[in-house]
Amino acid sequence: MLIQSTNKFDNVGETITYTYTVTNSGNIDISAPITVTDDKFGTVTIQNGGTLSPGSSITGTSTYKITDADINTGSVTNLAYATGSINVLTPVQAIDQIIASIQKLITSGNLSSGVSRPLISQLNAAKSNLNSGQTSKATTQLNIFITEVDTYINSGILSQTNGQLLIDATNAIIQA
């Protein structure tokens, strides 16, 4: 990405403020620390704790003082990239997260507890099968869960956005 400034810097010691925006364009949380590594200043911590959820962004800043060499070159060029961690969960832990997401949908009024019971039942059955080493049965339960969520989306019981998040999280377990 190339970002050009319209500001003119022509004195040694003038300060450039860099603003970094880090966006989670994936479908799982990214855990802190979230950092930007910049070839001008090394590592800049953008977020020390918590997580960056899918679709969310955070910003951070750093400053750079113009040098004589920058003035002689006529520009300042830098390279930067962001890093964070992805928590690797066991399939059972990932299912527990999906159940927690369903419970949040109930609490927020986006899903009724009665409608959620079959979904949670399928997930608990998958967990039970995983705990007893029956991976293929667990996969079958997870596929049934996906079908039920898809039915809820198509019938308007669950929004496309919320339903797709549940499906994506479940597919990630199946594909792991």
- How many folded domains does the chain comprise? 2
Rounded to 5 degrees, what are φ and ψ at 54?
-55, 135
Look at residues 42, 68, 85 and tell me which one is the last residue of a structural domain.
Answer: 85
Separation of alpha carbons 25 and 57, rounded Å: 9
Domain match, 74 and 101 both = no
Low-confidence ranges of the chain (pLDDT < 70): 1-7, 87
Closest CA to 58 of 19, 87, 85, 26: 19
5 in a domain, yes or no? Answer: no
At 73 the pLDDT is: 87
At 144 the pLDDT is: 96
Using CA of residue 65, residue 69, residue 71, residue 75, what is the dihedral sign?
Answer: negative
At 98 the pLDDT is: 94
> In terms of residue numbers, what domain contains 24?
15-85
At 87 the pLDDT is: 67
133 in a domain, yes or no? Answer: yes
- Predicted TM-score (pTM) of this structure: 0.54
Alpha-carbon distances, residue 168 vs 9, 19, 172 (angstroms): 47, 32, 6
53 in a domain, yes or no? Answer: yes
